[in-house]
Amino acid sequence: MKFGYFDDANKEYVITTPKTPYPWINYLGTQGFFSLISNTAGGYSFYKDARLRRITRYRYNNVPIDMGGRYFYINDNGTIWNPGWSPVKTELDEYECRHGMGYTKITGKKNDLKVNVTFFVPQDYDGEVQQVVLTNEGSAEKTFALFSFAEWCLWDAQDDSNNFQRNFSTGRVEVDGSVIYHKTEYRDRRNHFAFYSVNDSIDGYDTDRDSFIGLYNGFNNPEAVLAGKATNSFADGWAPIASHYKKITLKPGESKTLVFILGYVEMPQDQKFEADGKTINKVKAKAMIEKYSTPEKFEEGMKELRAYWNKLLSILSVTTPDDKVDRMVNIWNQYQCMVTFNLSRSASYFESGIGRGMGFRDSNQDVLGFVHQIPDRAKERIIDIASTQFPDGGCYHQYQPLTKKGNADIGGDFSDDPLWLILSVSAYIKETGDWGILDEMVPYDNDMSIAQTMLEHLKVSFYHIVNNLGPHGLPLAMRADWNDCINLSCFSDTPGESFQTYTNPKFAAEGGYSKVAESVMVAALFTYSGPNYVEILKHLGKDDEAAKAQAEIDKMKKNIMESAWDGDWFLRAYDANGEKMGSKECEEGQIFIEPQGFAIMSDVGKEQGADLKTLAAIDERLNTKYGLVLNNAAFTKYYIQYGEISTYPGGYKENAGIFTHNNAWIICAAAYAGQGDQAFKYYSEIAPAFTEETSDIHKTEPYVYGQMIGGKDAGSDIGQTGKNFGQGKNSWLTGTAAWNMVAISQYILGIQPDFDGLSINPSIPHEWDGFTAIRRYRGATYNITVKNPDHVCKGVASMEVNGKAVEGCIVPLTEGQKEYNVVVTMG
């Protein structure tokens, strides 16, 4: 069942009912000011950091769901309603929500009054602009009351939700004409304030929540709206809000357009106030309000936003035999990559904005799906991330975006972290050809006095693995590897201990974690990412160092085959007791997905057929119609030696859930191994455009990936196996966005940036006759035509560039050439 449809021409998803199976959201803003907005206008705004600079309040895990947002209320002679249906929930005569690239349009109609609201955050602008168009579509004149509503958060979202003995006494506002200013703590230690404006006169306002809503009422029945009139309340402590009230009369067919702005302003310390020393200096705010003060200016801003996205998305566009693929590649997957790049795992409807900042491994992987869009921003991000590394190659697991400092609460010792830096830096060079990034001086632990070149950072990353091997010559697992829930040094038996930060004191003498527990996932990631480091060294003429690094990779491959090959697939780990994890010998959790793809893609054991055997085992044991589960069999009891993974009921999250992030690695591996049909099958099991038809089962947005889908074991714990099989959770902020972008564009369609140029080597479903693509790359345009006359899955029989035959799969770079017409014939 569907709850809307894709409008590809407008690059929008159109939601046709407010009652989606879960709130379906969009993100506004790509630079500093961000808003989350659901299809019923719920959500919140923040500046740069969802925890430390929260602008409006949101209540997570509330009843009913999705409470709090920017709401417009209509009181039309006693009929109270919102254009987005919620929170009043009056049945509407018409409803539509269009989520587009950086904007959302919500339209509601009731009793002949149509209200269309467009929300967007303009480029280079710290505010959300909202245009409200009210149209009387009836045959009689209409007089009604319009109320806006926003609830201020007291900046630090964590403190806002727990420090009430203080917070209820600090709230402050200022009202100036039609503009309501929020200035809590502005007098003392903050140089920022927020405002909510409208470009017209108003008939009243409210700034105090209890006066507007009423202490015992809710968002669904605010007293002022019921009364049809604002109270002109002034907040002093308690909960400051901003609500405009306006009486409007419309003749039949007449429309009125209003522009509201929710803005954020920072002021220099010495210019914060007017001469009286307490009134906000509003010069900057007024300039912001002026910028979008008319519908024409609003349109101009929207036009710029559209142009911005059209340009970004034109860097890669494809036309394949499957319009679902086109819509993922050309629109939604790229869009999601921008969002994950910006927000890492901080703020979504599942991430509260106060939990995690930017993750070292997460953000490095996000770069892989984003780097082609704005390489300069990717470079800046890579440098920020690398700056939280330690001189020995280890690193902080997370950092706060506002301060860019490593997060000491979480610390380090996540064994996979350093390797992702090698991949992100390589991806940046492959995209841009800018080898200069290797010469950048990058601090360790944010300390510039001990800065080293980025190349040196790669070296310490690489050797951090080599220098931390266990008894089988495999990398130590440490506190966790990519899988945060495999915690082999934890042995936790006390509620509340964090699986990621707690390590059992019995390992204190060994340095905090077991020197026996080893990760095959990290071993395989090492053999996959390591060769990039070797190639970089060769390019720089450092052949001796390259040979030395290559020898380490070869040794690791040998160690994997000697100690981590289970006969039909690769083991997952050795636990702290030296026992195998992810082996046929295990009672549960016999096979895990994570190491397999990377091992296959680095040809580990290929001569013995390890790749094909592994792919067959994955298909047999892990695949389902909704994607590949992480492990099988699911754990049915707590294995203290494994940690968090066995705390989840079977079928959820890391315990045999369909963890979509690592599905991409198998898609890539199947494509790499020439199994284009299989790769595409796995891709279409999880790609949102393909799951749209089962939105009632899937629940979350059909235009973006979620982190997790309930696996085949979901419900087994309560004797209802399959109960929540196929149910998505944790949408938007997941490494799946970047990795599936890589999987479809670089492995299936095979358009892969390489150090020496663009490589084209597709691995597609054999029925496809081919496809075309346009790729802008290193300043040139590549018009690519792939033909598949023999209906193979993989293999380049010939390649022509601008009419000339070329050997191999890489389009040779010709200095100064602006256009490459590439014809690839498969066979």
479: three-class secondary structure by DSSP: coil
Q: What is the rounded (10 degree) CA torsion for 205, 207, 208, 212?
A: 30
Provide, rounded to whole angstroms, the least separation between the CB of residue 719 and ligand GLC: 24
Q: Which stretch binds ligand GLC (CB under 6 A): 354-362, 420-428, 621-629, 777-785?
A: 354-362
**Binding of residue 417 to ligand GLC (CB under 6 A):** no
Cis peptide upstream of residue 140 (ω within 30 degrees of 0) = no
Decide the pairing of beta strands 358-359 and 398-399.
antiparallel
Long-range contacts of 18-23 (CB under 8 A, 24+ apart): 18/84, 18/85, 18/86, 18/92, 18/95, 18/97, 19/85, 20/695, 21/695, 21/696, 21/698, 21/699, 21/700, 22/65, 22/349, 22/699, 22/700, 22/701, 22/731, 23/65, 23/66, 23/349
Closer CB to ligand GLC, residue 367 or residue 792? 367
Taking the complex as a whole, how short is the minimal distance between the CB of residue 738 and ligand GLC, in angstroms?
A: 12
Local structure of 170: helix, strand or coil: coil
Q: Which residues, including other chains, have CB under 8 Å from residue 386's CB and lie 6 or more apart?
A: 421, 442, 454, 457
Judged by beta carbon, residue 61 or residue 269, the one nearer ligand GLC is 61
Among 280-288, 304-312, 477-485, 788-796, the segment contacting ligand GLC (CB under 6 A): 477-485
Identify whether the C-beta of residue 138 lies closer than 8 Å to the C-beta of residue 151.
no
Of 485 and 601, nearer to ligand GLC (C-beta) is 485
Q: Does 692 bind ligand GLC (CB under 6 A)?
A: no
Identify which of residues 387 and 730 has a Cβ nearer to ligand GLC in the complex: 730
656 binds ligand GLC (CB under 6 A): no
CB-neighbour burial class of residue 270 (10 A; exposed 0-12, middle 13-18, buried 19+): exposed
Q: Using CB under 6 A, which of 118, 483, 514, 746 touches ligand GLC?
A: 483
Binding range to ligand GLC, per CB under 6 A, among 32-40, 248-256, 385-393, 478-486: 478-486
Contact between 424 and ligand GLC (CB under 6 A)? no
**How open is the CA angle 632-634-637, to the nearest 5 degrees?**
145
**Contact track, ligand GLC, 303-342, x by CB under 6 A:** ----------------------------------------
Query: In whole angstroms, what is the distance from residue 470 CA to residue 407 CA?
Result: 27
User: Which residue number, 148 or 655, has a Cβ lying nearer to ligand GLC?
Assistant: 655
The answer to whether 653 contacts ligand GLC (rule: CB under 6 A) is yes
Based on the shown chain and the rule CB under 6 A, indicate whether residue 345 belongs to the binding site for ligand GLC: yes
User: Contact between 359 and ligand GLC (CB under 6 A)?
Assistant: yes
Stretch of 83-91, 121-129, 286-294, 359-367 lying at the interface with ligand GLC (CB under 6 A) = 359-367
Q: In the annotation, is 484 catalytic?
A: yes
Burial of 616 (0-12, 13-18, 19+ CB in 10 A): middle
The answer to whether 500 contacts ligand GLC (rule: CB under 6 A) is yes
Instruction: Give the contacts of 227 (CB within 8 A, at least 6 positions apart).
Output: none
Stretch that binds ligand GLC, among 141-149, 189-197, 479-487, 548-556 (CB under 6 A): 479-487
Residue 572 engages ligand GLC in binding (rule: CB under 6 A): no
Per the structure block, which two tokens stand in for 156? 């630090």
Q: Which of 50, 485, 586, 737 binds ligand GLC (CB under 6 A)?
A: 485
Nearest-approach distance from CB 344 to ligand GLC, in angstroms = 8
Q: Smallest distance from the beta carbon of 549 to ligand GLC, in angstroms? A: 25
CA nearest to 386, candidates 338, 441, 436, 431: 441
Q: Does the footprint of ligand GLC cover residue 707 (CB under 6 A)? A: yes
Instruction: Tell me the closest approach of the beta carbon of residue 362 to ligand GLC, in angstroms.
Output: 5
Tell me, by CB under 6 A, how many residues bind ligand GLC.
14
Pick between residue 76 and residue 362 the one whose CB is nearest to ligand GLC. Answer: 362
Which C-beta is closer to ligand GLC: that of 160 or that of 594? 594
Return the SS3 of 529. Answer: helix
Strand (E) or helix (H) holding 707 = strand 706-709
Name the DSSP class of 745.
I
- Cβ proximity of 57 and 353 under 8 Å: no
CB 663 within 8 A of CB 715: no
Closer Cβ to ligand GLC, 359 or 765, answer by number: 359
Shortest distance (Å) from residue 76 CB to ligand GLC: 46
Task: Give the one residue of 362, 575, 685, 692 binding ligand GLC; rule: CB under 6 A.
Answer: 362
Nearest approach in angstroms of CB 350 to ligand GLC is 10
For the bound state, the minimum distance from the C-beta of residue 671 to ligand GLC, rounded and expressed in Å, comes to 22
In terms of CB distance, is 128 or 644 closer to ligand GLC? 644
Yes or no: say if 651 and 645 are a contact pair by the CB < 8 Å rule: no
Nearest residue relative to ligand GLC (C-beta): 484
Q: How far apart are CA 316 and CA 705, in angstroms?
A: 19
Residue 295 has φ and ψ, to the nearest 5°, of: -60, -30
> Pattern of binders to ligand GLC over 125-154, x per CB under 6 A?
------------------------------
Report yes or no: 610 and 565 within 8 Å, Cβ to Cβ: yes
Least separation in angstroms between residue 699's CB and ligand GLC is 18
Radius of gyration of the chain from Cα atoms? 28
Helix spans in 725-798 (H): 736-742
Q: What is the DSSP letter of 473?
A: S
The residues in 713-752 that bind ligand GLC, with binding defined as CB under 6 A, are: 734
Q: How far is the CB of 655 from ligand GLC (least distance, A)?
A: 9
Question: Is residue 370 a contact residue for ligand GLC (CB under 6 A)?
Answer: no
Q: How far apart are CA 542 and CA 398, in angstroms?
A: 32
Residue from 416, 270, 324 nearest 684 by CA: 324
Q: Is 361 in the site for ligand GLC (CB under 6 A)?
A: yes
Taking a C-beta distance cutoff of 8 angstroms, is the pair 186, 170 a contact?
no
State how far the alpha carbon of 385 is from the alpha carbons of 170, 353, 362, 431, in Å. Answer: 36, 19, 10, 19
Closest distance to ligand GLC from the beta carbon of 341 (Å): 14
Q: Which among 484, 566, 575, 713 is annotated as catalytic?
A: 484
CB of 120 to ligand GLC, least distance (A): 28
484 binds ligand GLC (CB under 6 A): yes
- Interface residue with ligand GLC among 644, 685, 692, 713 (CB under 6 A) is 644
> Residue numbers of the site for ligand GLC (CB under 6 A)?
345, 359, 361-362, 482-485, 500, 644, 653-654, 707, 734
Kindly list the catalytic residues.
484
